[in-house]
Structure 1
């Protein structure tokens, strides 16, 4: 497959996932949209290109691990897992139902393909550090990926984990910061705008001894290139600071904090699906 064909296919998968996200939240009458939409391109790039995984063997010991630290964006991950073949796409209609495997936050005890249960913000990266350290101690060659939200980067535990990862030289750990710059509840900025959840993330991570790569988190080519660079880096963990747009793909959702967890009406759903389709 040519590079152009690969990028086109990944973009098509991302559009499919975004449609599933808005449909699932609408059907459940609950869930988050803004964060999953900003993370979609990165998740698709990881699961359909960068990560060494086997959907038909979700517990394969040699697989790369993935931790969604921003666990409230679970529907984004579920949608990617469904398209990848870990679960039936039809099962997404059970999202957030009381007896469903697809709860509002990921539960590794009920759904194959999940490496960590997450939801308490800031804790996922600590689990990822443990996985990466365990791989080093056991001389295993898999990589551990962790997607971190910028809002949860206000948690002290994130920076404790960052310090430990650097201390042990975990170059098999790749953190992706979904830097959409907008959280549901945060500090007020100038002129009624919201202040950034975390300022100067590149400088902060570099100060903790990490290799830092900054990209456009919606550019598939940049995402794939950044992951390759991270794998080539030796001696230090890598963080990819991915500049993204909350609610990406639907104009009336983009950069609007109200769509952090708002449920679209039937009319809004149809408008969203049309926009996503046009952008595919």
Structure 2
């Protein structure tokens, strides 16, 4: 028997029937409180997440278990408020869950849990895990002959200091995982940085790579949908510094 994680239909939007939009994300985030909010980590990803879920990803609450769906893996899982707000806006989780964020009996933990939150692909928060898992997901889809689904991983610039990510970038470029995409949100929190910028790290390993303004929705969409035949694709989204 197949177990499904798809949620029952959820009414997402305003009482008058208007769907939630980007302007509603901050009010949705304001419903969440607690001592471990990691505000900079969350707000740095807000625009990237919205453009992906609103205009790019082929996944919805009723297709969250469809083998042909796109996969989104939040590696930067220690600041999930923006992620939860977007999932609520798109109907994956009820708005009523948001005020319980981080509470003992809440499904919305300080790190996302794939067994508790509809639409979440991985449990995350330990930095350096999401990109290698995305590589494995892309390899698995290739082995199954599923050429349609795209795999997206969202990482932070500081997370790219992790050795596991170095190996994942090198391997994915070498084997040409062209259904793999990485969004690296750069809020200048990395300890070391990269000569020529973070995109250069991907490009030197054979990736297609571009750097854009992480608050410009049209620029993000153009970068996310840029063709990259035979190569994985990285988008470095620069936002305001963390501090």
Q: Give the shorter-chain TM-score range.
A: 0.7 to 0.9
State the distance in 1 between where 2:46 and 2:66 align.
Answer: 24
Whole-angstrom distance in 1 between the partners of 2:30 and 2:84: 12
Task: Select 1:206's aligned residue among 203, 207, 213.
Answer: 203
Alignment correspondent of 1:9: none
Other-structure match for 2:42: 36
* Deviation sequence 1:15-46 (CA, Å, 0-9, x none): 32123224313xx3431111211111110011
Quick check: 1:15 aligned with 2:13? Answer: no
The 8 Å contact of residues 105 and 117 in structure 1, kept in 2 or not, is answered as: yes
Answering whether residue 196 of structure 2 is matched by residue 226 of structure 1, we say: no
Aligned residues: 222
Give the structure 2 partner of residue 61 of structure 1. Answer: 67
Q: Does 1:119 align with 2:119?
A: no
Displacement of 1:197: 4.8
Higher relative contact order (CA 8 A, sep 6+): 1
| Residue in 2 that maps onto 1:24 | 32
Q: TM-score w.r.t. structure 1 length?
A: 0.75
Over the aligned positions, Cα root-mean-square deviation in angstroms equals 1.6
Match of 1:149 in 2: 156
Query: Of Structure 1 and Structure 2, which has the larger fraction of its residues in helix?
Result: 1
Q: How far apart are residue 62 of structure 1 and its match?
A: 1.1
Q: Which runs of 5+ in 1 are unaligned?
A: 1-11, 187-195, 246-254, 258-280
The whole-number CA distance in structure 1 between the counterparts of 2:79 and 2:230 is 31
Question: How far 1:198 sits from its partner (Å)?
Answer: 4.8
Deviations 1:176-229 (A, max 9, x none): 01011136xx5xxxxxxxxx6555212211111111111111111011111110
Q: Distance in 2 between matches of 1:197 and 1:173?
A: 23
